[in-house]
Each structure stands twice: as C-alpha cells, then as structure tokens.
Amino acid sequence: MTTLPHSDVSTRQERLAGNELLDYVKATSDFTYTRRCLGAGYIQADKYEDGTDKPAFTDFFEAIIDAKKANDEWEPLTKSGADWYDDLSDEQKELYNAIEDMCPEFTKLDAEQCQEFMDELDDIGITTSEQFECAYMYQTAAHNAEAEYAQHYCEEIACMTDDISILVIDWQATWDYALKYDVNTIEFDGETYFFQNL
C-alpha cells in the first residue's frame, strides 16, 4: 500500500496530506473537529471503550500546519480567540463561559483547542451551559485519574469517609466495577475530565 506523508504505520490508515488535506478541511468547515479529524484519516490505534475510533488531533493539526507552510496562499484555519468567540452562537458562548468559570485553565488555550474540547463535549451530549454545570464532576492531571476520581467520589460526594477509613481499598477496581458506567470521561490537554451521564 502506498502511504501518504502523514500515514499512520500502526493503523495503516491513509491520511490526507498537503493540498488534499487543506481542500478537505475547507470543504468540511461545518463539521466538528472530531468528525473532520476522523474523516481525514487521523485515527488513533487504540479505541474508546465503546469501540469507536479516537481522533488523532495532534497529528491532524500538525499535518494542517505542514500543508499550510507549503501553500502560503491557502486561507488559514486558525482564528484568533476573539474572532472564534464572536462566531459562536449565543448558546455556545454561554457554554464556553461556563467552561471558563469552572475550568479557569481554558483562558490559556487557543481557539482550536477550545473548539476541540467543545466538540468532545458535544460527542457525549453536552451542548449547553446548563448541561455542563449539571454534568461536570471532577478533573485531574493524575496518571491514575480513574482511581483518583473513585476516591474523590467515595470521600467527597458519597461522604463515606467514616465508613471506609479502616479498609484497604483498590480505587481503580472501584472505578472499574461501580463507577465507570455512570460517568463520561474526556482526556484533554493533560487533564482527565469527569462528567455524569445525562
């Protein structure tokens, strides 16, 4: 099989590159970043727990940058943060404001990263500020994020501190057995975000 410059060896997935990628991105401007990324062939080797494909966002955006460098005349994909925010609908602005209020680190992200996160929220059914505020539960940069969330849930949300203080607990097993089915997770920018299923 002939591979394109950005083809993935592990998945053997043909990935669009160069002008073909730029034309595709321009033609799919109304798609979410997740849909565009997967549609261009930028798919991770591992899948989500439900078997669906994970987008390879880093590779996708790097390929766009490479293609843009080789083609200075192409209209850039990147918008300034202010332009991006101005283009949002009123409902999307309210959602972003809620994200920024509850997750202050988002003020440091660029427009593409913010849109990527909002697209991932959309994938799990969160499209309004009310849904975000209702579903948001926790976030952590820990490598054992699921186990940390399980401990947080038992001690802070379920208030089980007195009952479990003398027990030896496997927090990862608690997550795997009892909690993961009621919670959606998003891994983004080094953090894992936990959202209650709506």
For range 123-145, the mean pLDDT? 92
pLDDT above 50: residue 181: yes
For range 59-66, the mean pLDDT? 85
- The confidence band for 9, taking pLDDT boundaries of 50, 70 and 90, is very low
Residue 73: inside a domain, yes or no?
Answer: yes
For range 14-43, the mean pLDDT? 87
For range 118-140, the mean pLDDT? 92
Q: Is the pTM of this model over 0.75?
A: no
The domain boundary, picked from 77, 98, 119, lies at 77
For range 154-163, the mean pLDDT? 74
1 and 72 co-located in one domain: yes
What's residue 154's pLDDT? 85
- The confidence band for 132, taking pLDDT boundaries of 50, 70 and 90, is very high
Residue 104: inside a domain, yes or no?
Answer: no
70 and 1 co-located in one domain: yes
The domain boundary, picked from 49, 77, 105, lies at 77
The domain boundary, picked from 51, 77, 103, lies at 77
Domain range spanning residue 3?
Answer: 1-77
Domain count of the fold of the chain: 2
Ordered DSSP codes for the chain? ----TT-BTTTTB----HHHHHHHHHHTTTS-HHHHHHHTT-EEEEE-TTSPEEE-HHHHHHHHHHHHHH-TTSPPS---HHHHHHHS-HHHHHHHHHHHHH-GGGGGS-HHHHHHHHHHHHHTT--SHHHHHHHEEEEE--TTHHHHHHHHIIIIIS--HHHHTTS---HHHHIIIIIGGGEEEEEETTEEEEEE--
- The tens digit of pLDDT for each residue in 85-116 reads 888 889 999 999 999 999 888 878 888 888 89
For range 32-47, the mean pLDDT? 86
Residue 8: inside a domain, yes or no?
Answer: yes
Residue 105: inside a domain, yes or no?
Answer: no
